[in-house]
Amino acid sequence: MDGDAGLIAAAAVNPICLWCEGEFHPRKGGLPQRFCNSKHRDAFHSAGRRYAEHAVLNGQLTVADLRNGPAEACTLLGGQERRLDYPA
């Protein structure tokens, strides 16, 4: 099996953390787990808040955009990857 096929096979068995991109064993039940631990989930949300604040301060986003945006949680669909321009 070549390297890419191995990664794809591993991702099918164990999900990849959105923050560190490492494999993890998900908990059983509940909503799909996106992060390998709570520290990475908190780091992701903290970075998102900083990113949004900088976007508002730079005029790329308005507070009205945030206030009037979708109310539902934004989750990645299966097979969807994060944007390349999102800070790591």
Predicted pLDDT of residue 62: 94
Q: DSSP secondary-structure letter at 49? A: H
pLDDT digits (tens, 9 = 90+) for 54-72: 999 999 999 999 899 887 7
Q: Is residue 31 very low, low, confident or very high in pLDDT (cuts 50, 70, 90)?
A: confident
Give the residue with greater pLDDT, 72 vs 23: 23
Question: Which 3 state secondary structure label does DSSP give 2?
Answer: coil
Q: DSSP secondary-structure letter at 24? A: -
CA dihedral sign of residues 27, 30, 35, 38 = negative
Closest residue by Cα to residue 43 from 27, 9, 19: 19
Does pTM top 0.95 for this prediction? no
CA–CA distance, 83 with 27 (Å, rounded to integer):
26
For the chain, what is the mean pLDDT?
81
Residue 83: is its pLDDT beyond 80?
no
